[in-house]
Amino acid sequence: MFRLSLRPGDWFVLLVSIILVVFLTLQSMGDRGGVPIVRIEGEDESWVYPLDADIEVEVEGPLGHTHIHIHDGAVWVSDSPCTQKVCIAAGQISAPGTFIACLPNMVLVRIEGRQEGEIDGLAF
């Protein structure tokens, strides 16, 4: 093989590149803190709880009270005055971005926060 002599500028560019990569790596690893929050929206009010709370919330809607539980990092609707009970059937949610809605009683429960860097699908 032949010899190649790297020049000072080459080392400089290489150094900048490596620093950039290391910096970005540290940033993307260190920035995972923060507990997701549970946002509960009623007819014209809204509440925010941390997902790691342990609490039962009653939200008043046009039909009556919707009971929402937050326990062990999961949220579910335990009782609702609506007829279809879709919100109860929705079960427990725990991932940011997911939600439970009770349309008849106008209640929306949503988990907000940083997604854990999960990508559903990639196509190239």
Partner 1 sequence: MDLHSDLHKRRIDLVAFLGALCLFLSTVEYLFPKPIPFMRLGLANLPILVSLKLLPFPYLMLLTLVKVAGQGLINGTLASYVFIFSVAGSYSSVLVMYAVSRTGGRFLSLVGVSLAGSMTSNAVQVLLSIYFIFGKNAVMIAPLFLGIGTVSGLLIGLIAEGFVEHSRWHANLRRLYAQE
**Which residue number, 49 or 99, has a Cβ lying nearer to partner 1?**
99
17 binds partner 1 (CB under 8 A): yes
From 36-44, 46-54, 77-85, 114-122, give the range in contact with partner 1 by CB under 8 A: 114-122
Residues in contact with 40: Cβ distance below 8 Å, sequence separation at least 6, in sequence order? 46, 47, 48, 49, 57, 59, 68, 107, 108, 109, 110
**Residue 120: phi, psi to the nearest 5?**
-70, -45
Identity of the residue numbered 124: F
Residue pair 100/38 in contact (Cβ under 8 Å)? The answer is no
2 binds partner 1 (CB under 8 A): yes
x/- site string to partner 1, residues 25 to 54, per CB under 8 A? x-xx--------------------------
65-71 β-sheet, strand order: 55-60, 65-71, 74-79
121 binds partner 1 (CB under 8 A): no
Least separation in angstroms between residue 50's CB and partner 1 is 21
Using CB under 8 A, list all residues that contact partner 1. Answer: 2, 4-14, 17-18, 20-21, 24-25, 27-28, 115, 117, 119, 122, 124
